[in-house]
Amino acid sequence: MSPKTLYDKIWDAHVAHEAEDGTCLLYIDRHLVHEVTSPQAFEGLRMTGRKVRAPEKTIAVPDHNVPTTAGRDTHIDNEESRIQVEALDKNAKDFGVHYYPVSDIRQGIVHIVGPEQGWTLPGMTVVCGDSHTATHGAFGSLAHGIGTSEVEHVLATQTLIQKKSKNMKVEITGTLAPGVTAKDITLAVIGETGTAGGTGYVIEYCGEAIRGLSMEGRMTVCNMAIEGGARAGLIAPDETTFEYVKGRPHAPKGAQWEAALNWWKTLYSDDDAQWDKVITIRGEDIAPVVTWGTSPEDVLPISGVVPAPEDFEGGKVDAARRALDYMDLKPGMPLSEIEIDTVFIGSCTNGRIEDLRAAAAILKGKKIKDGMRAMVVPGSGLVRAQAEEEGIADIFKDAGFEWRLAGCSMCLAMNPDQLQPGERCAATSNRNFEGRQGRGGRTHLLSPAMAAAAAVTGKLTDVRELM
Amino acid sequence: MDKFETFTGIAAPMPLVNIDTDMIIPKQFLKTIKRSGLGVHAFDEMRYDAEGNENPDFVLNKPQYRESQIIVAGDNFGCGSSREHAPWALADFGIKVVVSTSFADIFFNNCFKNGMLPIILPQDQVDLLMAEAEKGENARLSVDLENQQITTSDGTVISFDVDAFKKHCLLNGLDDIGLTMEKEASISAYEAQAAQSRPWV
């Protein structure tokens, strides 16, 4: 048999039909659904009299729109948001899919709920009408975002029309220095490849530094594969994966666990597998990083300075000029002198328990800077409960952070959590696009520990100075 | 879905690289439960000021580009989120074709589901079309999907590639859910086999 990559193996195990031109029907094992990208898809089913083919493989949870303040289970002020959440309530009920409403402690960001509940398992195909579906690749599952028409397609047929992507290997060798986290890895990779560097590829992240990450960290890395343009990011499952999955509500049990484990252990790229593109980065060379511009590729070590447009080539010169203008930054300014007024810790990138622990470790016994608006939005109700049990919630609250309910919140600012024009935020989320966190708002992406450090000092800060 | 037919239209130049889906349709417009009516909000934060007045410098607000049906864009157009509201907004505005050196994967797929054709061309050809687009209504482009050709107003012909299946669906206005449902036997056979080999799924 010819050698295969992990992606090849998962792909081959899910082809339900292949046409002569290579167009495949890929079978979908798990379909995650949220309130923003699904209403039109369910409406399409109604109009055509179609059913959900596999409701038992379909999991819905409201996350994008929901307020993160108390009382939301009885009333959502914003009428349009309320209508969308109510539509999901109704669609989940009418079509009989699994559902976690806001009143359920298991509710949270769809990409945190899926793994937490054991819906996401190695070797699966996972899709969702959300680009950060890439997160689930951390389990060695082929996971990617789809549009609403494709959501409808999957609901109706449990398949997707796909052509295979190319294979790209991103190896992070060695070990990470203190203060360097999974977020720094994933941003550093995008800094290296650019936001279109992964277009047409599925990335497999490997190497000692990746192996050393927890599942939470691996999810952070894969989450931002999409920011590098890749269809999906993957990490081969190993003992860390199996340990995380075992015992979760929807993970296999007993004999099925053993059977699953046997197959999962075959899910790795063969030694002589062929790669279309390979990138290698030394773990030791990665520093804590921040973004300075309005694209996730605008990333530099915190020790760096704001670049000049002339430092770039081609279309990026004008883009950098526009970004500097939008961000109100001058070339040559040290990144560690950029003052911020808002800190957001949360999102499907960094809203898991390990992220909250990392931030709390920096905040313990400290206060946020006077006038700072800082909020923590746990990724799920269960993450929130665990953080409260561990005393982490108290550390945040004592430091001056707002302690919110679970949801996407200020990552995309569809709910009331938004930046005002000119406000500048240190955010653990995944996109620093113009207006992403609110019209005129300015976003610097960084790790949870770096966000905590910034909350304390009032400016972008090298977390290693506070460790 | 309407059939994609050969047309001649005005092309708007948008040379900025990495035009993302938040730029194409900001999140406040994702709260709709419909597909229609988003054209007025396309490129909202570039197109209007905070009070909702048109920004006269934005290309689609200029008199010669208000009826644009084609966008010639910088690299990596449509990067960011999976929101199909982005192609919905562009299509509702009247855009049928976007030309760039590269597109984000999900946006690219979403276009075809909505009767829109994203065309990938090498940099020199995008540059040529960008220069044509700068001439506004004086330099309309013709797009012929059947023959996979763009023709400029001076008769220059540029050929482009397109996936054969996607082309077939666009030209015939086909609903691909219906097409897939014709393969019901294959899907059922796959499910039966997977129930044996991976019963835990």
Residue A375: HSE in the Cβ half-sphere, 13 Å Cα cutoff? 24
Question: Which of A40, A144, A412 shows the shortest C-beta gap to B35?
Answer: A40
A412 touches B at CB < 8 Å: yes
Dihedral of the CA atoms B157, B162, B166, B167 (nearest 10)? 30
Residue A397: what pLDDT?
98
* A1 pLDDT above the threshold of 80: no
pLDDT at B175: 84
Q: Which amino acid is at B185?
A: A
Residue A16 contacts B, CB cutoff 8 Å: yes
The proportion of chain B whose per-residue pLDDT surpasses 90, expressed as a percent, equals 97
In whole numbers, what is the pLDDT of chain A averaged over residues?
Answer: 97
Range A259-270 average pLDDT: 98
Cα of first residue to Cα of last residue in chain A, in angstroms, is 51
Rounded Cα gap, residues A411 and B42, in angstroms: 21
pLDDT in tens, A201-251: 999 999 999 999 999 999 999 999 999 999 999 999 999 999 999 999 999
Q: In the prediction, which pLDDT does A23 show? A: 94
Q: Of B124, B85, B20, B108, nearest to A199 (Cα)?
A: B108
Please say whether the dihedral angle defined by the alpha carbons of residues B163, A53, A156 and A116, taken in this order, is positive or negative.
negative
- Do B187 and A19 count as a contact with CB atoms less than 8 A apart? no
CA angle B94, B97, B100 (to 5 degrees): 135
Who contacts A246 (Cβ-Cβ below 8 Å, separation ≥6)? A257
Domain ranges across chain B: 7-197
Percent over 70 (pLDDT), chain A: 100
CATH classification for the domain delimited by B7-197, as one of 3.20.19.10, 3.90.700.10, 3.20.80.10, 3.40.640.10: 3.20.19.10
Q: What is the 3-state secondary structure (H, E, C) of A437-456?
A: CCCCCEEEECCHHHHHHHHH
Question: What pLDDT score does B120 carry?
Answer: 98
CA distances to A5, A17, A113 from A93, rounded to whole Å, are: 40, 31, 19
Find out whether A370 and A337 touch, Cβ atoms under 8 Å: no
Q: What angle do CA A25, A26, A27 make, to 5 degrees?
A: 115
Note whether A157 contacts B180, CB cutoff 8 Å.
yes
A300 lies within 8 A of chain B by CB: no
pLDDT exceeds 90 at position A25:
yes
Model-level pTM?
0.97
Asked if A84 is an interface residue toward chain B (Cβ–Cβ < 8 A), one would say yes
